[in-house]
Amino acid sequence: MRANDTNLQRHRLIRTFHIYVRNLEQWNAMTQFLLSRPYLGNFSVRFGRSDYAQIERQLTYRAAENARERAKELAGGFSVKLMGPTAVSEQALSRIDSELGLDGARISQTNASTNDKPTMSDLSLPGALMYKKTVNVIFRTK
C-alpha cells in the first residue's frame, strides 16, 4: 500500500503516548519539535513533581493540625471539651458518601471535541505549582 493510496487515507490511526520531562530546561525545545510534526495533535499537558506523595502527606498533616486547632477554638467558644474525630474526609462532609464509595461510579469528562493544534503559548511552563489540601473533620465534644 502506498501513502497516497485512497484506501489508506480513509483510516485514522490514534496513538496515546506519555513523555516525562525531568529537565524543564529542555521543555521549550521539545514542545517546539512536537508542534512541528504534521500528524501530532490533541496535546494534554500536566505538570507535577516527582515528590508529590511526600508533599501531599505534609499538606494532609498540616490540614489536620489546622482542623484540630480550629475545632478547639470553636469548642472553647461553646464551653465544651473537644474529643477525638468521628468522621474525616478530604471532600466536603455533605458528600462523605463519595468517600465511603456509596455514590456510584465516578465519571471524568474531558473536552475532546477540539481538533485545533495547540500553540507554544498553550504549552508554556507554569510560573509555579500550587498545592493545597482540604480536610473536613467532625469531632466529638463533651
SS3 64: helix
pLDDT > 70 in the chain, percent = 72
Higher pLDDT, 68 or 44: 68
Domain boundaries defined on the chain: 6-103+119-141
In this predicted structure, the answer to whether residue 54 has a pLDDT above a threshold of 90 is yes
Structural contact between residues 47 and 124, judged by C-beta atoms closer than 8 angstroms: no
Query: Given this model, what pLDDT does residue 37 score?
Result: 82
Per-residue pLDDT reduced to its tens digit, 130-141: 888 888 888 999
Query: Given this model, what pLDDT does residue 88 score?
Result: 86
